[in-house]
Amino acid sequence: MSSFLSVDHSLSGRRWVGPTPETDRLAEAMAQTTRLPLPLARILVARGVSPQEAEGFLEPTLRDLLPDPRSLKDMERAATRFLAAINAHENIAIFADYDVDGGSSAALLIHWLRGMGRQATLYIPDRIDEGYGPNEPAMEALARDHSLIVCVDCGTLSHGPVAAAKPADVIILDHHLGGEPLPDALACVNPNRLDETGDLGHLCAASVVFLMLVEANRQLRAQDVQGPPLMALLDLVALATVADVAPLQGCNRALVRQGLKVMARRERPGLVALCDVARLDRAPSAYSLGFVLGPRINAGGRIGAADLGARLLATDDPNEALALAERLDVLNSERREVENAVRASALVQAEQRGLDGPLVWAAGEGWHPGVVGIVAARLKEASNRPAVVIGLEGGIGKGSARSINGVDIGAAIQRVAAEGLLLKGGGHRMAAGLTVEEGKLEAAMARLSELLAKQGAGTQGPRDLRLDGLLMPGAATPQLIEDIDRAGPFGQGAPAPRFAFANMEIVSPRPIGESHLRFMFGDGMGARIEAINFGAFDGPLGPALSERGAQRFHLAGRLEINSWGGRNKVQLRLEDAARA
């Protein structure tokens, strides 16, 4: 297959790949049949959408896409026990993971219980002192004062802690990979249990919690009781889905689409305060959830108080929300400083080890366990390989893994743990955690690399830049972006469309901040577009595009609307460039 615009080696060393002739043919046919703009038709064809399916895809509804909660094992039993505890005024505890998915899951339950005139005890473990998931001392303590403990976004592998909670009943609402046997809980609702079909394996924990609340409301209706409204909770589900890197396909796409509409109404004090502190000047997008709001909520669990994020999402008090949001914003800035130091060391180590194998990994003494997951994501992006980053302390390493599409890192790590090379490990397809003795580190990473190679990791060629087509500056209008956004939201498993602009003239390049570049570009025929390239001067794009002279460039990136001073302008978020 020939390269797009004959770019075999861009300024960043990538080969550009455009739509195939077959895609172009099908897109033109769809545009004629549906009267949709050709760029949008091309995106739909690339997603495997037929002309007959186009309308339903562009307007996804939960009525059509939300699964029946009872299709998940133990769901009916979980909801029945949950309602029994409410009716009997039992003390309920919520044990949640310290990340966005865990915090959102806990907040979902707290808000719903508040609507029923009830409350619950929130417990979130400290990342450093207690680690991930339920632990025996905490579960024993909760069981002394609570007859029902609901574990959200954790618990599927917690056999000992669940047993330690007796005589309290334990309900697990999770999505991490399960094993055999399951813990001795009253109910374990998890689409990734080994005895599930896997059809709903893409759901995050907050979606599982939401489905249990759907089932609870259904059981209440059967008793002629009206449960709390559920649609208003979808902002929390959307936040968790995007932040936990769940694929934006099927019902996930509908959940996020509807959740963003709820969030735009600015009704949840915690999210309103966080948006304001983060200086979001327009309704949040999926990008905002993943890269602006999510990191701030996670900052509490990474380097601060573990429960800050969940408390922010659960509060109804605007004053408390603002105080928590400001604290999380400060912690996020501190997290960035810690992350940058670890990232620099990890990248040097990984490059020395090699970035072309099935696995990229790095480990260092004293690396903060709260940032190793973020750094693993950065290594994954830099290498297009699964990545593991581990912080060592006292002869024990605690690490996080991130994967690429098509490679199940959670299953591989669980296998290495079962073989005794890891003290523990587990997760899901795209992300996982592990604990390893320092003396077994090299052997464990070698075995993990071997398992990932069998899944196809490391066979990828150069990092191709996939483009959805070619545009002229005059065609890149706000209306086109609105049309394209109908195919969203975009994120994991549904990348935002990327377009090329050929033979462009660079006008007025100027540095922004320490490393970014902003400029105008055009074809010399009148129409010009503003572009921004974040981190341009950390690589080759900034210096090349800032050169003076008549050199022209092919540009590639994602189109977006930049709102400033009450005006909406088209902006290209530049990702790559090549000399024309």
Q: Which residue ranges of the chain lie beneath pLDDT 70? A: 1, 460-462, 564-566
Q: How far apart are CA 418 and CA 416, in angstroms?
A: 5
Q: How far is CA 356 from the centre of its chain?
A: 25
Which CATH class, in words, describes the domain spanning 65-328? alpha beta
Nearest alpha-carbon partner for 47 in 502, 509, 466 = 466
Question: Looking at residue 565, what is its pLDDT?
Answer: 65
Nearest alpha-carbon partner for 148 in 102, 99, 87 = 87
Structure tokens at 512: 């922004």
The strand pairing partners of 285, in sequence order, are none
Structure tokens at 486: 């109908």
Question: Looking at residue 203, what is its pLDDT?
Answer: 97
The structure's pTM equals 0.90
Could you say which DSSP state residue 133 is in?
S
Q: How far apart are CA 310 and CA 515, in angstroms?
A: 34
* CATH of segment(s) 4-18+467-579: 2.40.50.460
Q: How far apart are CA 75 and CA 218, in angstroms?
A: 12
Q: What is the pLDDT of residues 396-429, one digit of tens each?
A: 999 999 998 889 999 999 999 999 999 999 888 8
Q: Is 506 helix (H, G, I), strand (E, B) or coil?
A: strand
CA pseudo-torsion sign 474, 477, 480, 486: positive
Could you say which DSSP state residue 98 is in?
S
Q: How far apart are CA 241 and CA 289, in angstroms?
A: 9
The pLDDT > 90 percentage for the chain reads: 86
Q: Is 434 helix (H, G, I), strand (E, B) or coil?
A: strand
- Contact criterion met (CB below 8 Å) for 386 and 411: no
Residue 561 contacts by C-beta under 8 Å, 6 or more apart in sequence?
A: 478, 481, 568, 569, 570, 571
How many other C-beta atoms can be found within 10 angstroms of the C-beta atom of residue 280?
15
Could you say which DSSP state residue 36 is in?
-
Question: Looking at residue 548, what is its pLDDT?
Answer: 78
* CATH of segment(s) 354-454: 3.10.310.30
> Omega of the bond prior to 489 within 30 degrees of 0, cis?
yes
Q: How far apart are CA 313 and CA 23, in angstroms?
A: 43
Q: How far is CA 99 from the centre of its chain?
A: 11
- Contact criterion met (CB below 8 Å) for 91 and 147: yes
Side-chain-side CA neighbours of residue 236 (13 Å): 34
Please tell me if the domain spanning 65-328 has the same topology as the one spanning 354-454: no
Q: What are phi and psi of 130, to 5 degrees?
A: -115, -25
Q: What is the pLDDT of residues 104-154, one digit of tens each?
A: 999 999 999 999 999 999 999 998 889 889 999 999 999 999 999 999 999
- Contact criterion met (CB below 8 Å) for 398 and 131: yes
Q: How far apart are CA 151 and CA 173, in angstroms?
A: 6
How many other C-beta atoms can be found within 10 angstroms of the C-beta atom of residue 469?
19
Sorted by where each begins, the domain ranges of the chain are 4-18+467-579, 27-59, 65-328, 354-454
Q: How far apart are CA 9 and CA 227, in angstroms?
A: 58
